[in-house]
Amino acid sequence: MQRAATTRQARLGARSGFSNGCVEIWSGGTVNVSGQVNADIGTAGGPDGIGWIDVFAVGDITITGKTSGVFAVHANGGLAQNTDNGGLIAVKSREGKVTASNLAIQASALTCNGGKGGKITVEGKLDVNLVPGAVIHAKGCVPLGGAGGVVSIHSWGESPDGSIVSDAASAIDVTGNTPANGSIALTACNAIGFPAGTTSPATVTPSKAFACGGAPTFESYVVFPACQCQVEPEFGGCLKAPIRSVLDPDTGRFPDNAGPDVVVQLDLGQTVQDAVDTATDSNGDGYILILVVKDVTGIWAGTRTRTS
């Protein structure tokens, strides 16, 4: 899928100056980008002509780039003229992980006449997985008053989650200006995988910080699609239609129910047997309902097998 930003947008308080175009993707479940999200719309005017992209989700975000050609998510400057800056890209998962691979995210000034690299923010409540070989570019012009971009990556989780994961092919590049003046900030609860991943240019040293807990934050105007369940599960995800039908308090199998008493999340090692042994009518609706989900998103995707 390719989505091009063609509409002039200004959002006060969200982006500095005037952005010429934007793409916003908000999901109450997960986001899977396997084609292109394209905001290469910048026109002359430096920071006042850039494009920007928001990819926000309650659950997991997966960005699968190609191994050659264009990046999967890109907001570049300099296509229509040679003075525009790279754009602004934010990728945030409120309760899940972010996974990116190959040519993943780019906010660069593609031609060199003082262009500046853009700003890229990647945040996950759980791990930020930059494997296999995720490439992130926020490159600007080296001479002629250009500047390197800004890349910030934050994994907010708590052990055993909360790592920035990379491999030897993972790369972050904020090349720009002489001497180089781009910046890279990496924050996680557990491991920060650079190295094995590499950063460029060599003269820019990434800042690294370790902090556990919390979650990505969003501007007040960001409203995720409402869950269709009677009671939104504590993990924040939405359920597939057959489950919503069963739990519907008016037409479902359990009239006037107030939702599940227990949620079993299999990826955390929780078991159905433990739930059966300990469940009570915690919401006082006259039923003991146990909901079993595969992972944090609560939506249908793949299977899990339990032997106990």
Q: pLDDT tens for residues 84-113?
A: 788 899 999 998 999 999 999 999 988 777
**According to the per-residue pLDDT averaged within each range, which of 94-98, 145-149, 292-296 is highest?**
94-98
Looking at the fold, whether 25 and 151 belong to one and the same domain comes out as: yes
- Residue ending a domain, among 178, 210, 242, is 210
Distance in angstroms (rounded) separating the CA atoms of residues 74 and 36? 8
Looking at the fold, whether 64 and 108 belong to one and the same domain comes out as: yes
- Residue ending a domain, among 156, 182, 210, is 210
Distance in angstroms (rounded) separating the CA atoms of residues 54 and 100? 15
Looking at the fold, whether 65 and 151 belong to one and the same domain comes out as: yes
Looking at the 3D structure of the chain, how many domains does it have? Answer: 2
What average pLDDT does range 253-271 have in this prediction?
Answer: 84
Contact 298, 261 (CB under 8 A): no
Distance in angstroms (rounded) separating the CA atoms of residues 305 and 53? 37
Question: What token pair was written down for 5?
Answer: 């930003």
- pLDDT of amino acid 226: 57
- pLDDT of amino acid 241: 61
Tell whether the model's pLDDT for residue 280 goes beyond 60. yes
Asked whether residue 218 is assigned to any structural domain, the reply reads: no
Distance in angstroms (rounded) separating the CA atoms of residues 220 and 222? 6
Asked whether residue 216 is assigned to any structural domain, the reply reads: no
Looking at the fold, whether 187 and 286 belong to one and the same domain comes out as: no
Look up residue 1 and give its amino acid: M
Tell whether the model's pLDDT for residue 43 goes beyond 80. no
Looking at the fold, whether 131 and 268 belong to one and the same domain comes out as: no
Phi-psi region of 34 (alpha: psi -120 to 50; beta: other; left: phi over 0): alpha
Asked whether residue 273 is assigned to any structural domain, the reply reads: yes
Contact 163, 191 (CB under 8 A): yes
Distance in angstroms (rounded) separating the CA atoms of residues 216 and 164? 15
What average pLDDT does range 287-303 have in this prediction?
Answer: 66
Question: What token pair was written down for 203?
Answer: 């003269």
Asked whether residue 248 is assigned to any structural domain, the reply reads: yes
264 SS3 class: strand
* Domain range for 99: 2-210
- Name the band, by pLDDT with cuts 50, 70 and 90, for residue 3: very low
- Name the band, by pLDDT with cuts 50, 70 and 90, for residue 230: very low
Looking at the fold, whether 128 and 232 belong to one and the same domain comes out as: no
Looking at the fold, whether 184 and 274 belong to one and the same domain comes out as: no
- Residue ending a domain, among 160, 178, 210, is 210
Q: How does DSSP assign 103-172, residue by residue?
A: EEEE--B-S-SS-B--EEEEEESS-EEETTT-EEE----SSTT-B--EEEEEE---TTS--EEE-TT-EE
Asked whether residue 140 is assigned to any structural domain, the reply reads: yes
Q: Please name the residues in contact with 230: beta carbons below 8 A apart, sequence gap of 6 or more.
A: 244, 247, 248, 249, 257, 258, 259
Tell whether the model's pLDDT for residue 298 goes beyond 80. no
Distance in angstroms (rounded) separating the CA atoms of residues 254 and 151? 49
Burial class (CB in 10 A: 0-12, 13-18, 19+), 148: buried
Looking at the fold, whether 268 and 197 belong to one and the same domain comes out as: no
- pLDDT of amino acid 18: 52
Asked whether residue 249 is assigned to any structural domain, the reply reads: yes
Looking at the fold, whether 158 and 282 belong to one and the same domain comes out as: no
| CA geometry: angle 179, 44, 80, nearest 5 deg | 95
More confident of the two residues 156 and 224: 156
Q: Please name the residues in contact with 37: beta carbons below 8 A apart, sequence gap of 6 or more.
A: 2, 3, 23, 25, 53, 55, 72, 73, 74
Looking at the fold, whether 26 and 172 belong to one and the same domain comes out as: yes
Asked whether residue 179 is assigned to any structural domain, the reply reads: yes
Asked whether residue 217 is assigned to any structural domain, the reply reads: no
Looking at the fold, whether 45 and 83 belong to one and the same domain comes out as: yes
Looking at the fold, whether 46 and 174 belong to one and the same domain comes out as: yes
